Amino acid sequence: MRSINDIRDLTVDEINELVRLACDIIEHPAAYSEKCHGKKLATLFFEPSTHTRLSFEAAMYELGGNVLGFSEAQSSSAAKGESVADTARTVGCYADIIAMRHPKEGAPYVASQHAGVPVINAGDGGHNHPTQTLADLLTIYREKGGFENLTVGLCGDLKFGRTVHSLINALARYKNVKFVLISPEELKVPSYVKKDVIQKNNLPYVQTTDLEAAIPELDILYMTRVQRERFFNEEDYLRLKDSYILDPKKLVNAKEDLCIMHPLPRVNEISVAIDQDPRACYFKQVLNGKYMRMALMLKLLELA
């Protein structure tokens, strides 16, 4: 039973196939509207995430299937002390596929070992969030026509930002990708991502604290939020949360076809004044996320 815990669980060919399938869904939605008729998705969200949960649910409804689940640990058996393995085994009796978010890293992997149905990691702490990366990849594909020959700026919390780590892992497998890593000193990319992924693949990269100076060379600017829930110390969070705020002034020297991305939700790191700029792609990313989740569920259920 195939599950997806990490973007690296998918080969480049499989990612390309998912992108192709998502594009076909976008072009021919009616052809897919009953593909999951009679199938049930269980959304097991042990921590709140409106965006990801609704995206999964919308994706399953658009495929003609049904949804069951919970949106916080307090309303699940976990509140009574049930293990992830037992919850997964139980839910596997009711649903055909599971999307799980959990604050503890590795919880969806544990679930995948026991559920008996495919499990999709919908975010596990600061670790992985593969379907966000799939949304990011479809956005890059649709905006740039492919994944090669790109200069990709990643800005904000590069230490705890799981979307950043997953995106680096995914893009590192394509040719001529250069990374510009923009963050405060305290939130730099962890050494295992830098050494094991970027340097191992001999990819060019730059580390800087200066967003404005980095912008002119970028094809993609991926902004991230400094997440309160990743800090054990409130003081550190308050000190770092406003490190980077993207506003129209900072975009003066940016490329005409820059693609500005953000995994959302944002707080204040992208000014709302940029929302009308044609280079703002973050709400397109949301829509692309739904299509990629549709494509992924079809593949895992072996319906496409």
Interface residues with other proteins (CB under 8 A)? Answer: 83-85, 102-107, 109-110, 124-127, 192, 196
Closest distance to other proteins from the beta carbon of 35 (Å): 33
Going edge to edge, which strands form the sheet with 97-102?
66-70, 40-45, 97-102, 119-124
Q: Which is nearer to other proteins, 2 or 195 (CB)?
A: 195
- What's the closest the beta carbon of residue 278 comes to other proteins, in angstroms? 38
DSSP symbol at 282 = H
DSSP secondary structure, 179-215, as one string = EEEE--GGGPPPHHHIIIIIITTT--EEEES-HHHHG
Least spacing, CB of residue 91 vs other proteins, in Å: 17
Q: Rank residues 165 and 241 by Cβ distance to other proteins and give the closer one.
A: 165
Residue with smaller CB distance to other proteins, 78 or 295? 78
Could you give the CA distance from residue 37 to residue 106 in angstroms, rounded to a whole number?
A: 31
Q: How far is the CB of 128 from other proteins (least distance, A)?
A: 9
What are the b/e assignments for 105-120, b being 16+ CB within 10 Å? eebbbbbbebbebbbb
Tell me the closest approach of the beta carbon of residue 241 to other proteins, in angstroms: 20
Nearer to other proteins, 78 or 294 (CB): 78
**How many C-beta atoms surround the C-beta of residue 60 within 10 A?**
24
Q: Cα separation of 176 and 205, whole Å?
A: 11
Angle ∠(245,251,256) on CA atoms, nearest 5: 140
CB closer to other proteins out of 16 and 90: 90
CB of 102 to other proteins, least distance (A): 7
- 86 or 186, CB closer to other proteins? 86
Q: Find the angle CA(56)-CA(158)-CA(264) to the nearest 5 degrees.
A: 35
